[in-house]
Amino acid sequence: TRSQEKAQALKMRKGGKRIACLTAYDYPSARLLDEAGVDLLLVGDSLGMVVLGYPDTTHVTMSHMLHHVEAVARGCSNALIVGDLPIHSYDTAEMALANAKRLVAAGADAVKLEGGVRQFDKVKAIVDAGIPVFGHMGMLPQRVLEEGGYKKKGKSEAEYEAILEGCRALEDAGVFAIVLESVVAATAERLTEELEVPTIGIGCGEQTCDGEVAVISDLVGGYPWFVPPFAKPQADISTEVTKAVRWYVDQV
Ligand code: KIV
Ligand code: NA
């Protein structure tokens, strides 16, 4: 399929032209980002925090995801669209495949889920059905409550080995790329060298992976109440909105 071709084209960029990924949750941002040349638009379950106002991603449901994947799909014609499988939507391989198909029907080219070894069967079931899968290792936000916070990963040799083992399981199951989240820079570099599929970093330092992903609100200053330490805002749209609205209120 066209989706498989697009995912394969990104996979082939391993070690070559770096891959630029951003999250998008609605039609206007999808259209602006796609037209600006982003390679991959992730309808991430960060949606729960930066759009829906929940404290973390554990509140996000399939119906939230479907609603926003549909909007992004209407605005995007070039980038690969990836839809996150939210928490508990892939508790079994059967559920993983059924929900991946729903995201694709809503307009996603590919899906993403969190974790390594224990997700092997789920990833394989989805890939075998012809749907590209994006892996996600390192800090796994859907487990933030069990972990008691957002912690840096890959600090010790044992953690490096554990992440590598998970990434290898994902490669064996057929993912086209893997997100590395909040992995210490030196470990992210080692993993990037070791793995056959592209690594896409967030919170892993600069130029350590084969590509990067950022949350759009972090890039444009759209969510002033929480800014991750690794964010590099290039605009301040929340201040612009406040200014425009104050002008409007005064003028009325
Ligand atoms: O939901 C999301 O935005 C993500 C990225 C941070 C990788 O999963
Ligand atoms: Na996510």
**Which tens digit of pLDDT belongs to each residue from 90-130?**
999 999 999 999 999 999 999 999 999 999 999 999 999 99
Query: Domain for residue 149, yes or no?
Result: yes
Give me the pLDDT at residue 62, please. Answer: 98
Query: Domain for residue 30, yes or no?
Result: yes
pLDDT, mean of residues 132-139: 98
Query: Domain for residue 235, yes or no?
Result: no
Residue 137 domain boundaries: 2-214
- Measured from the CA of 114, which atom of ligand 1 is nearest? 8
Could you tell me if the CB of 84 is within 6 A of ligand 1? yes
- Measured from the CA of 213, which atom of ligand 1 is nearest? 7
pLDDT, mean of residues 143-155: 92
Query: Domain for residue 248, yes or no?
Result: no
Query: Domain for residue 242, yes or no?
Result: no
What are the tens digits of pLDDT across the range 183-233? Answer: 999 999 999 999 999 999 999 999 999 999 999 999 999 999 999 999 999
pLDDT category at 156 given cuts 50, 70, 90 is very high
DSSP code string of 146-211: HHTS---B--SHHHHHHHHHHHHHHHHHT-SEEEEESB-HHHHHHHHHH-SSPEEEESS-TT-SSE
Report how many domains make up the chain: 1
Give me the pLDDT at residue 9, please. Answer: 98
Kindly give, in sequence order, each residue whose CB lies less than 8 Å from that of residue 72, ignoring residues fewer than 6 positions away. 24, 25, 26, 27, 29, 30, 41, 43, 81, 107
Give me the pLDDT at residue 221, please. Answer: 98
The verdict on whether residue 3 carries a ligand-binding annotation is no
pLDDT category at 179 given cuts 50, 70, 90 is very high
pLDDT, mean of residues 46-66: 97
Query: Domain for residue 226, yes or no?
Result: no
Give me the pLDDT at residue 98, please. Answer: 98
pLDDT category at 161 given cuts 50, 70, 90 is very high
Give me the pLDDT at residue 244, please. Answer: 98
> What mean pLDDT, rounded, does the chain reach?
97
What are the tens digits of pLDDT across the range 72-82? Answer: 999 999 999 99
Query: Domain for residue 223, yes or no?
Result: no
Q: What's 14's domain CATH number? A: 3.20.20.60
Give me the pLDDT at residue 226, please. Answer: 93
Could you tell me if the CB of 60 is within 6 A of ligand 1? no
The verdict on whether residue 46 carries a ligand-binding annotation is yes
Instruction: Tell me the ligand closest to 142's alpha carbon.
Output: 2
Instruction: Please say if 194 is a catalytic residue.
Output: no
Give me the pLDDT at residue 92, please. Answer: 98
Tell the burial category of 4 from Cβ atoms under 10 Å away from its Cβ (0-12, 13-18, 19+). Answer: middle
Q: Which of 215, 219, 227 to mutate to test the pocket of ligand 1 (most atoms within 8 A of CB)?
A: 215
Query: Domain for residue 195, yes or no?
Result: yes
Could you tell me if the CB of 214 is within 6 A of ligand 1? no
Residue bearing the CA closest to ligand 1, atom 4? 44
Percentage of the chain exceeding pLDDT 70: 100
**For residue 126, how many other CB atoms are within 10 A of its CB?**
30
Residue whose C-alpha is closest to residue 22's, from 31, 13, 14: 31
Could you tell me if the CB of 106 is within 6 A of ligand 1? no
pLDDT category at 51 given cuts 50, 70, 90 is very high
Give me the pLDDT at residue 218, please. Answer: 98
Helix (H, G, I), strand (E, B) or coil at 38: coil
Could you tell me if the CB of 218 is within 6 A of ligand 1? no
Q: Which of 5, 70, 159, 181 is catalytic?
A: 181
- Measured from the CA of 47, which atom of ligand 1 is nearest? 1
The verdict on whether residue 232 carries a ligand-binding annotation is no
The verdict on whether residue 236 carries a ligand-binding annotation is no
Could you tell me if the CB of 21 is within 6 A of ligand 1? no
pLDDT, mean of residues 35-64: 98
Q: Please state the ipTM of this predicted complex.
A: 0.99
